[in-house]
């Protein structure tokens, strides 16, 4: 349960702390500074964990890094696993992976994206969306969704399970696998593993489309709320494929300003400033 703590700020602003924030994949808290008219003057999101990975990987054999840094998270270890492998590809002068290695890495990452998004949408977001922000707090959780909308909850659980199975067959384990190594991968899919994934793949696509339709219906049921709730103009940054389409694994970095004007780096990802 979230605890609300209020205290007087030295500058005369009242401090409200929401600690912990329970709808995140990790640990965090939010603090607000509110003036005497109950107008919020400042909001901060605090991520409270100390990581330290940049320090304790120093001096270790380079091939250990992809396995070590994924311990940053139990929800998205594949993202850290692949980021380290891709960084070491550059450090070792690997110009290009074999087609099979890149496909295995991409499949691993797509499994990660599927299971993480299923967790976020069905487990963390759907209780608020389905029951409403003003509904009973004790009901707004995945158990409440399972009781009131069993088919939606079932799809969410099985979509995440399928994503974890994709990770298992590509990385060796569902969590903290070892499939990606500097320069490529250390395992490929067997014919049996391919058939195992293919058996349910089209069902997963159909359920994913159902999830998109669900959020469309939620939005159209109250557009006045969802067009304004949490909406603000901001710059955006993403990876794009050579044709400008979405890419989740590799490509150029494209930044888009609030005015919709955009600019990109070269095909090799690198930091940019403006």
Q: Average model confidence (pLDDT) for the chain?
A: 87
Residues of the chain with CATH 1.10.645.10: 53-222
68 — pLDDT class (breaks 50, 70, 90): very high
Taking the model in full, what pTM does it have?
Answer: 0.82
In the β-sheet with 14-19, what is the strand arrangement from edge to edge?
A: 3-8, 14-19, 28-34, 40-47
Give pLDDT tens digits for 3-12.
445 554 557 8
Where residue 83 falls among pLDDT bands split at 50, 70, 90? Answer: very high
Say if residue 116 is preceded by a cis peptide, omega within 30 of 0.
no
pLDDT for 272 equals: 32
Question: Cα(22)–Cα(154) distance, rounded to whole angstroms?
Answer: 22
- Which token pair is 56? 């304790």
* Structure token digits, residue 142: 């995945």
Structure tokens at 84: 């380290």
Return the pLDDT at 264.
Answer: 63
Q: Which two tokens stand for residue 212?
A: 């998109």
Q: What is the 3-state secondary structure (H, E, C) of 254-268?
A: EEECCCCCEEECCCC
pLDDT at 25: 65
What is the largest distance, in Å, between two alpha-carbon atoms of the chain?
Answer: 67
Residue 263's pLDDT is: 63
pLDDT digits (tens, 9 = 90+) for 172-206: 999 999 999 999 999 989 999 999 999 999 999 99
Q: What is the DSSP letter of 201?
A: H
Is residue 134 over pLDDT 70?
A: yes
Q: Provide the CATH number for the domain formed by 53-222 in this structure.
A: 1.10.645.10
Spatial CB neighbours of 266, under 8 Å, sequence gap ≥ 6: 252
Q: What is the pLDDT of residues 32-55, one digit of tens each?
A: 999 989 999 999 998 877 778 888
- Beta-carbon contacts of residue 62 (< 8 Å; ≥ 6 apart): 88, 91, 92, 182
């Amino acid at each position: 349960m979230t605890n609300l703590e209020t205290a007087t700020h030295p500058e005369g602003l009242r401090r409200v702390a929401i600690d912990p924030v329970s709808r995140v994949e990790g640990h965090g808290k939010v603090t607000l500074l509110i003036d005497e008219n109950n107008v919020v003057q400042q909001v901060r999101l605090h991520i409270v964990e100390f990581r330290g990975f940049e320090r304790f990987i120093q001096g270790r054999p380079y091939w250990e890094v992809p396995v070590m840094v994924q311990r940053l998270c139990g929800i998205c270890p594949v993202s850290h696993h692949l980021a380290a492998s891709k960084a070491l590809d550059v450090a070792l002068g690997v110009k290009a992976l074999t087609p099979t290695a890149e496909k295995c890495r991409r499949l691993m990452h797509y499994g990660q994206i599927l299971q993480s998004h299923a967790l976020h949408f069905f487990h963390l977001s759907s209780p608020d969306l389905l029951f409403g922000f003003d509904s009973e707090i004790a009901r707004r959780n995945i158990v409440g969704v399972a009781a009131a909308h069993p088919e939606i909850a079932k799809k969410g659980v099985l979509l995440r399970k399928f994503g974890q199975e994709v990770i298992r067959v590509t990385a060796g384990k569902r969590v903290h696998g070892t499939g990606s190594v500097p320069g490529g991968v250390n395992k490929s899919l067997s014919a049996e593993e391919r058939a195992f994934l293919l058996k349910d793949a089209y069902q997963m696509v159909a359920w994913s489309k159902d999830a998109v339709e669900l959020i469309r219906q939620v939005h159209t049921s109250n557009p006045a709320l969802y067009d304004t709730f949490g909406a603000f103009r901001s710059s955006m940054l993403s990876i794009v494929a050579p044709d400008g389409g979405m890419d989740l694994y590799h490509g150029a970095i494209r930044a888009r300003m609030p005015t919709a004007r955009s600019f990109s780096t070269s095909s090799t990802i690198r930091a940019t400033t403006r």
